[in-house]
Amino acid sequence: MRTVAEHLNLCLEQVAPLAPLDVLLPDTVGCVLAEDVVAPFDRPVVDQATCDGYAVRSHDIVGARPTEAATLEVLGELRAGDTSPASLIPGAAMRIASGAPIPAGADTVVALETTDQDMRRVSIHGEVPVGSNILRRGQDVSQGTEILTSGMRIDARQVALLAGVGRLRVRVHPKPRVVVVSIGDELVEPGQAGGIGTVFDANGHALACAVADAGAQTFRVAAVPDEHDTLRRVLHDQLVRADVLVTTGGLSYGAGDTVKEVLSPLGTVRFDNVAMTPGKQFGIGTVEGVPIFCLPGDPVAAQIGYEIFVRPALRKMAGWTDYYRPAIMAKVDRGWESPAGRREFVRVRVTGTPDAGYDAVLTGDHDRLLLSALARANALAVVPEDVTHVNAGDEFYCMVLD
């Protein structure tokens, strides 16, 4: 029997960060940068006004005050987007819009509010320090400087900077493409009729969502029956678009289970008991070179197995160096007997604050695999292998799922 830590290590060893690709800017959001980005252009590309006003020579407004305005002839008007070179003669001003290039000769911009806004001869009612309301060429970003470093996550603010310096393509670790296959004769789609011998396929839908939530691309295959040929064909068809395969079900000792027989000849998959509850057997390996994770059929056990083993591996593939959910210590609200030698993951709802501490209320019996209890939980309390007797008030690390 393998420990949870051993199986997790095997899962992480099975995968590597995906090879970097040049990706169009809008598709990089949520990805991890795989290059140190150097600015290809200055930002701004020319000195520009940061507010609406008048471009002037500061020398010409020395001594201006409310009672004694400096009055300057307005030579013209500059708009954002103007490309014709403009130049300012002494004793004159140019009306200028926010974002417009500063004319040669001007060294400051007087904001509109401190003038009479006249378009022919403007009266300026105060001095303004040299360089006011001007963003100099390259003052935000200078061409050739490193602006973002490999390993950062790209979000809206990084996209703004990349776009702002003219980058259209960026080298990132692409999002892993994950194919989710649930296996079982008993599985029917939600919306169909239920009845004896049927189980609604919760796994396929839930894992597809959990994979997408981890920032990966997800392709869900409708549930596959326990038939060798069908499963072999589905896996073969899906491999072309998969960086990872995730299966659920087909792992028990029952005579009708097929996943081991089908997978074993195709690659390196091993099936082992892992010392945890819920869950028992897990598979890990490759199929035609593609990493595959085999999870139990029970949907609570499958989702917990996904959280413990698959999500960290997907984050590694996406280029993250931090693979894990945050955890906080919380006091459980009741006692129970926890199985010896197994790490137990218990569905809890954690509330509290850093100051007051955290409480973890079990959302169902610790040993019943209830989807209703998982849906109410926001964390998994982790009871170590050597703890067999839990008392109300004991503290455990809780993996925060929200």
Site for its own copies in 332-371 (CB under 8 A): 354-355, 368-371
Binding region for its own copies (CB under 8 A) out of 44-52, 172-180, 236-244, 389-397: 44-52
CB of 286 to its own copies, least distance (A): 26
Residues in the interface with its own copies (CB under 8 A) total 101
Among 89, 104, 160, 340, binds its own copies (CB under 8 A): 160
Report if residue 257 touches its own copies, rule: CB under 8 A: yes
The Cα–Cα gap between 143 and 141 comes to: 6
Q: How far is the CB of 289 from its own copies (least distance, A)?
A: 28
Tally of CB atoms within 10 A around 8:
19
Q: Which of 20, 174, 297, 319 binds its own copies (CB under 8 A)?
A: 297
User: Residue 361 and residue 381: Cα distance in Å, rounded?
Assistant: 10
Given the DSSP bridges, would you call strands 53-56 and 32-33 parallel, antiparallel or unpaired? unpaired
Q: Candidates 62-70, 232-240, 298-306, 390-398: pick the segment binding its own copies (CB under 8 A).
A: 298-306
Measure Cα distances from 154 to 34, 134, 307, 359 in Å. Answer: 11, 29, 23, 34
For residue 65, the minimal CB distance to its own copies (Å) is 20
Q: Which helix (H) or strand (E) holds 206?
A: helix 202-213
Enumerate residues 77-136 that contact its own copies by CB under 8 A. Answer: 77, 79-83, 85, 95-101, 112, 117, 135
Question: Please, is 378 exposed, middle or buried when counting C-beta atoms within 10 Å of its C-beta (0-12, 13-18, 19+)?
Answer: middle
Contact call for residue 239 and its own copies (CB under 8 A): no
Residue whose pair of structure tokens reads 């401190």 in the numeric block: 114
CA–CA gap between residue 303 and residue 186 (Å, rounded): 19
With CB under 8 A as the contact rule, the residue among 197, 265, 321, 322 that binds its own copies is 197
Q: Which is nearer to its own copies, 69 or 135 (CB)?
A: 135
Identify the residue among 12, 21, 29, 327 touching its own copies (CB under 8 A): 29
Nearest to 343 by CA among 308, 303, 391: 308
